């Protein structure tokens, strides 16, 4: 049976769906005050979303570890709609090897691992540098009944995703915004022809310029799944 709800339905069936529904509720409760504060600050500043994202990336480039330390209690997760899209993409590509940059509490991980399970098996390698999040993500993946399919590597993805030992069918890039291009280049040698790279919050110009330049071996475009959230879709064709 499919692990997550079909598009447009509420996730109501099974362990995966129940775990995701609970986690999305917890994420809403934990992150709402922060998201509201960011919205208020953006409105007060008069800056555009692009300008605010550029500023955030510039700040991150000073010290991305410190920037995310402040978010140890935040989920910062994909939306249910984007989660369904992750599941659908992993099913459509018949993915068996998935890599994730930025696991946080494991919500996106569960959508992707559910697809692996429904594809007949495989492995997802996640990465998260905040130790308390790693522990919580592992517990959530366990609660969803998907632990056998998931390895979450603790530490900086620039180290933990080095030297992956197998080809990659699908990658989710959803960690520090300033590291999208370095992480892509790190995993690039392992991307199989036709591999799908899904980037959430893809605002870094260097990343967008790179995947949109055909000479680099990708075709890419922004998808209107969650407007304003920089949903960049790329396929490895080189
Ligand atoms: C937007 S959240 C990920 C949300 C998650 N994909 C989900 O949908 O549930 C980004 C996460 O990336 C982590 N992160 C940022 N930079 C990282 C790095 N260099 N290595 C590993 N994790 C990193 C942060 O600690 C944060 O938890």
Question: What pLDDT sits at residue 13?
Answer: 61
Q: Whose CA is nearest to atom 6 of ligand 1?
A: 103
Question: 64: Cβ below 6 Å to ligand 1?
Answer: yes
Share of the chain above pLDDT 90, in %: 92
Burial letters 110-141, b for 16+ CB under 10 A, else e:
bbbbbbbbbbeebebbbbbbbeebbebbbebb
Residue 100 φ then ψ, to 5°: -130, 125
Per DSSP, the three-state class of 71 is coil
Question: 60: Cβ below 6 Å to ligand 1?
Answer: no
CATH second-level architecture of 1-238?
3-Layer(aba) Sandwich (3.40)
Domain boundaries, the chain: 1-238
Instruction: Tell me, in angstroms, the distance from the centre of ligand 1 to residue 156's CA.
Output: 10
Distance of CA 72 to CAs 16, 152, 175, Å?
24, 16, 13
Residue 78 CA: which ligand 1 atom is closest?
Answer: 8
Residue 68 CA: which ligand 1 atom is closest?
Answer: 25
Whole-number Å distance between alpha carbons of 90 and 50: 29
pLDDT tens track for 158-199: 999 998 999 999 999 999 999 999 999 999 999 999 999 999
Instruction: Tell me, in angstroms, the distance from the centre of ligand 1 to residue 51's CA.
Output: 22
Instruction: Tell me, in angstroms, the distance from the centre of ligand 1 to residue 48's CA.
Output: 24
Whole-number Å distance between alpha carbons of 88 and 71: 29
The answer to whether residues 58 and 50 touch, using CB atoms and an 8 Å cutoff, is: no
Question: 226: Cβ below 6 Å to ligand 1?
Answer: no
Per DSSP, the three-state class of 88 is helix
- Would the pTM of this model clear 0.75, i.e. be above it? yes
Question: What pLDDT sits at residue 163?
Answer: 86
Quote the DSSP letter at residue 222.
E
Instruction: Tell me, in angstroms, the distance from the centre of ligand 1 to residue 101's CA.
Output: 6
Instruction: Tell me, in angstroms, the distance from the centre of ligand 1 to residue 11's CA.
Output: 24
Residue 197 φ then ψ, to 5°: -120, 115
Residue 71 pLDDT > 70, yes or no? Answer: yes
Signed CA dihedral, 170, 176, 180, 184: sign only: negative
Question: What pLDDT sits at residue 32?
Answer: 97
């Amino acid at each position: 049976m499919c692990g997550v709800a079909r598009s447009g339905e509420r996730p109501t069936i099974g362990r995966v769906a129940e775990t995701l529904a609970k986690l999305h509720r917890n994420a809403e409760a934990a992150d709402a005050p922060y998201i509201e504060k960011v919205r208020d600050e953006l409105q007060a500043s008069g800056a555009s979303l692009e300008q605010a994202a550029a500023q955030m990336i510039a700040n991150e480039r000073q010290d991305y570890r410190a920037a995310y330390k402040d978010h140890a209690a935040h989920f910062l997760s994909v939306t249910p709609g984007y989660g369904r899209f992750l599941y659908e993409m992993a099913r459509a590509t018949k993915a068996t090897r998935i890599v994730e940059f930025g696991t946080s509490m494991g919500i996106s991980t569960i959508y992707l691992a559910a697809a692996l399970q429904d594809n007949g098996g495989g492995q997802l390698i996640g990465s998260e540098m905040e130790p308390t999040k790693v522990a919580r993500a592992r517990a959530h993946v366990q609660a969803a009944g998907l632990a056998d399919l998931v390895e979450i590597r603790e530490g900086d993805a620039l180290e933990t995703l080095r030297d992956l030992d197998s080809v990659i069918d699908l990658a989710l890039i959803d960690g520090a915004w300033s590291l999208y291009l370095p992480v892509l280049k790190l995993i690039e040698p392992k991307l199989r022809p036709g591999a799908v790279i899904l980037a959430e919050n893809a605002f870094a110009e260097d990343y967008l310029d790179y995947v949109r330049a055909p000479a680099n071996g990708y075709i890419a475009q922004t998808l209107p799944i969650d407007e304003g959230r920089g949903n960049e879709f790329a396929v490895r064709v080189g």
